[in-house]
Chains A and B, each alone.
Chain A
């Protein structure tokens, strides 16, 4: 206990994290893990946010939330399912708490918090539930189950939460006091019926008015006094204390306005409501100015007045709440998102009209074991098992009418998962159909999941947008009305550029009609209507209800849809209005000048984390949360100066078990203290288990044995940490991570294989939003060069990495100057250096793939997206050359030539192009690259919009499979369609055919060589047009192929065009092998867990970020780099890693060195020490799973707290019980 108190003053300024959903938990855990104090506040009475409602997540269709818990210093945190709650030494969790006020500036905030009054004392409540038995108020919809169940006025907000903290819904509570009498622990204190103290004074010269008002409020339980004149009223106010005065304006003796003025002098706190029969705007405004709360117009009915007074009374009751001030150095907002309510608006799908139409969240509660139906999928209308369920996508997304022209990004996977779950649960007996616009499975593993859903689970996907749902009155089933197939029906191919093929070789869709115009949406086609038993609406995301208020408090701007701006890019890289490339790119940049979370500015230390910024799935939210934590960490570290981080206390294997637990209870009152450790008795009386349950007893005896615990601690010593980070790859991700870590005060060794840093940013001039990447790169380069803590090794590569988390030792080697990309590099017997470091971040990036498909290589007019970007850069630099001096151009083009020596940069005169065709998904989402490359659709949109800007008359066709413009990029897709770019969908089984027609240079002025080269070929593309149902042919001057992204690890994949089958002969540089981590099936680096530990590699202490994980854009790369930096800093902030109490050990006298334990350890925490010939356990890496103990044939390996002896005794005790 003394230790705890001594530590308090050392805490320093911590951070406040708003929102204890998955994002807030991640941010808080990261900061706490890195030794900062965190106050985690949550508006709801429980933690977990939306994730407390979702039991199943793809790709496992299960949960793995607990993997977010710290792996180092495990004893500091709770060691149980995160759904139950969270405890951490450095985290103060405050539920039912909101922010009132923020004062001060970066690094020095004083934040006023308001915690709702707890009517049930959480320390006394055992969760026995007696109170709910007696509570007379029922039928309150349960938010946890999305309203599908009800609860009483006193209830458990989350059934599995620890502590089992009953809560009173005070607005519904009648204050009858039944629960107070029933509670065996006397834990409940109901608020006094304060209505008795809420005295009302009614001032009116008409007796009938006074009397009737008095009668109404007497009935309501308020004490009421009456005064017949202003003078008497003022005397009464002087004598008694009133909370509210109802004051007539027109009175005989003294005007109400005068009474108001003098009453306010006597009692300034008095609230006054004016009553007037002669209401005019002027009197109202005047009285309001003089301090009246509001006015009410006579004649009024009792309900209106009572409601008004009740609300005044309720708002005054907030004084019950606990208001406190907390100092903080930084603030992270992670309040998540809300969901669209399909009940609002036109509601053509009949939500809440037909009981069998439910939202995706309600469906999620239905399949949950803790939901209303206990996990059974049944029709809400009649309880029968449905035979057919339909999902309707984009409900409240991609829909201008519902105010959301963005894509919610998560619903496609959400629906797929729900459909797969349904198929699995029902054993395939329930048919599942998903109606979608574009199936946006743009994540690394998403495409594979979709394929599995379709092929293995027979989920039916239909690319149709239903317009309404209606119930058949006879059958009670739901009929989905469908307009027509094909979403992009608005575009009609113009005859000048395309011709309808009558060629017999082309396939013509059978139900087509020859006239293109007649294929506009037809509502009469009722054959396509389908009947279902249940309809699930995939509701889109909406900004969190807290976004507006927090934006006002913090000054963080909201974007056009009301989501907080995440502000990833520094000011220098914000889109320039004149150079935004896209006409609509300005909106997202609006308010940029006061952007709070800008990476470069320290003025403001308020950051947006998790899904609060909108439209993120779990993995992205977790990454964003860590990234926000990293930004906060930088501020906090700078504040902390040289003070040591909060060291987790070593609990010494539970020896002296009583003291640490007691002390923590004292330290963190009303929190989760008593439930911190797995071995601690969790008080089974509350669980209502049968008396035979010896759960608590057994766990207590199993873990609580003091003697063995202390012997273990003698054997396992703390692991010292080398407080440096090695970062491999100096692209945008590597540089971001390096700067962040260095700014936080730690040394960084930045190793880049090439001689130029910057990676893909060297050719990528901007993104769809028009951010200025050359400026960003220049700024980053300068900072890296100047930073005293960053040691840049460009032209070096890592050839060896030994050691373990906290203590790596890597060898780096100088690569040969001017070496061609792709050649074997390792055997250059050059200069080597050995570096010691505590953690590794791999940011080796990815590059554009090349292809042999679609006649690539047969014509110079067939280029890739990257070449397109370079050509666009070229035109820009050409213009600069004309207008300014020539140096600028030399520098820029010189750089890119150096980086990609083998890339031929085409020079294209875009003004002279007539028709440009882009084909998406080239070698992607198929056998060659089974994943979606995520960035190609947005790149194509970017290029297309740029082209339209250069030359508005240009015809652009984008041939796509599913348009992956997730999130806010959807607006550019809309823009592109508005600007006349034609989108034609093709399917993977009917790919477009490309023919090259050589030597046609009629339409070119022959004097320019480059142009001639460019334009002499005509590319003919033939494909099936789904809307008109015909095969069409497009003749293009330029064909741009979206070839997708391959990891940089694939060194054999170069842009050279000579090898026809380049995609088949990939070679890998073997960095994964060097680092001892794993690649995934696509040769990116494997994440430890794609959802819960998205930037952790499979080896502890090695983190991955940017495109090395999988395809992502620059913004996402920066965010992931920050997240990886945060995770690395969690390790290197501590000079020692303390082993946890439940850790494995070896009784060497029994060990026969069979090495089975070494093989079985999932964390590589064991190895054979060849000097001592003993098995060493790395206490920092050991997670105490006990796999080694179970496999050991000699019982030499053991887990402290779970030794054989202890387990046997526990079994004995359990059976003898």
Chain B
């Protein structure tokens, strides 16, 4: 049987994680191709509806990644993302979407290695969890 290749949408902040992704590339870090990065200025601008939209469109998991607490270029955007993610976790679990399908991480600009590791780990987990059930999408 073919292994399942999940589709992961990652909203990464312009200042930290995007730079980390860049650094991962330059340092020749390898990570699976399942993740598609969407750059946003700040994780604080990731509207919950973007996350829902991603799940609806067929994403098997969503990653939101930004600056470490206290590091946000926009003072406190990452805290807003943290609160929003917590709420989303609650909502999503009611529709049977497991918590691990939406992850929030802090990956600083020089953490290229950590970025690659995070992606690898997440793809591994989602691969194990299997595709997001389409009927669940209908519920949303």
Contact = CB atoms under 8 A, between A and B. Distances in A.
B129 interface: no
A799 B14 CA distance: 41
B71 to A, nearest CB: 4
Interface in B9-33: 9, 14-16, 18-28, 30-33
A347 to B, nearest CB: 31
Contacts of A377: none
Contact of B112 (A63, A127, A369, A692): A369
A369 B110 contact: yes
A1191 B84 CA distance: 10
A408 to B, nearest CB: 25
Given A63-B109, A1185-B41, A1186-B45, A80 B14 contact: yes
A1162 interface: yes
A1160 B71 CA distance: 18
B45 A1199 contact: yes
Nearest to A1187: B44
B59 A1215 contact: yes
Contacts of B73: 64, 66-67, 1185
Nearest to A162: B22
B53 interface: yes
Nearest to A1144: B45
Contacts of A81: 15-16, 18-19, 109
Q: Which of B22, B49, B70 has the most CB of A within 10 A?
A: B22
Contacts of A427: none
Interface in A1193-1217: 1199, 1202, 1204, 1207-1208, 1210-1212, 1214-1217
Interface stretch (A491-499, A682-690, A855-863): A682-690
Given A368-B110, A690-B32, A691-B33, A1211 B71 contact: no
A159 interface: yes
Nearest to A55: B110
Given A693-B36, A1215-B36, A160 B113 contact: no
Interface of B: 7, 9, 14-16, 18-28, 30-42, 44-47, 49-50, 53-54, 57-59, 67-71, 73-77, 80, 84, 108-114
A1081 to B, nearest CB: 16
B19 A160 contact: yes
A80 B18 contact: yes
Nearest to A84: B19
B70 A62 contact: yes
A678 interface: yes
Contacts of B38: 694-695, 698-699, 702, 1207, 1210-1211, 1214
Interface string A43-84: 000000000000100001011101100000000000111011
Contacts of A415: none
Nearest to B80: A1187
A370 interface: yes
Contacts of B19: 80-81, 83-84, 160
Interface string A101-139: 000000000000000000000000001010000000000
Nearest to A158: B26
Given A62-B70, A370-B113, A693-B37, A79 B14 contact: yes
Contact of A1185 (B71, B77, B114): B77
Contacts of A374: 113
Interface in A199-245: none
Contacts of B54: 1211, 1215
Contacts of B59: 1211, 1215
Given A687-B24, A1185-B41, A1204-B49, 18 more contacts: A55-B110, A62-B108, A129-B28, A369-B111, A687-B21, A689-B25, A693-B35, A694-B36, A695-B18, A695-B36, A1186-B42, A1187-B45, A1189-B47, A1190-B44, A1199-B41, A1202-B41, A1208-B50, A1215-B59
Contact of A1183 (B36, B37, B74, B114): B74
Given A678-B14, A1215-B36, A370 B76 contact: no
Contacts of A1160: 80
Nearest to A373: B113
Helix, strand, loop or mixed for chain A's interface? loop
B50 A1207 contact: yes
Contacts of B68: 60, 62
B110 A370 contact: yes
Contact of A370 (B9, B57, B75, B112): B112
Q: Which of A80, A83, A687, A1215 has the most CB of B within 10 A?
A: A1215
Contact of B111 (A375, A1183, A1190): A375
Interface string A667-711: 000000000001000101011111111110011001000000000
Given A159-B27, A678-B14, A1211-B53, A1186 B22 contact: no
Contacts of A63: 71, 108-110
15 contacts: A64-B73, A162-B22, A370-B23, A375-B114, A686-B26, A687-B22, A692-B35, A692-B36, A693-B33, A693-B37, A694-B38, A698-B36, A1187-B77, A1190-B44, A1190-B45
Contacts of B45: 1185-1187, 1189-1190, 1199, 1202
A159 B115 CA distance: 15
Nearest to B54: A1211
Contacts of B32: 690, 692
Nearest to B77: A1185
A127 B71 CA distance: 29
A261 to B, nearest CB: 57
Given A55-B110, A691-B33, A1162 B23 contact: no
B26 A159 contact: yes
A407 interface: no
Contacts of A1191: 80
A1184 B41 contact: yes
Contacts of B40: 1186, 1202
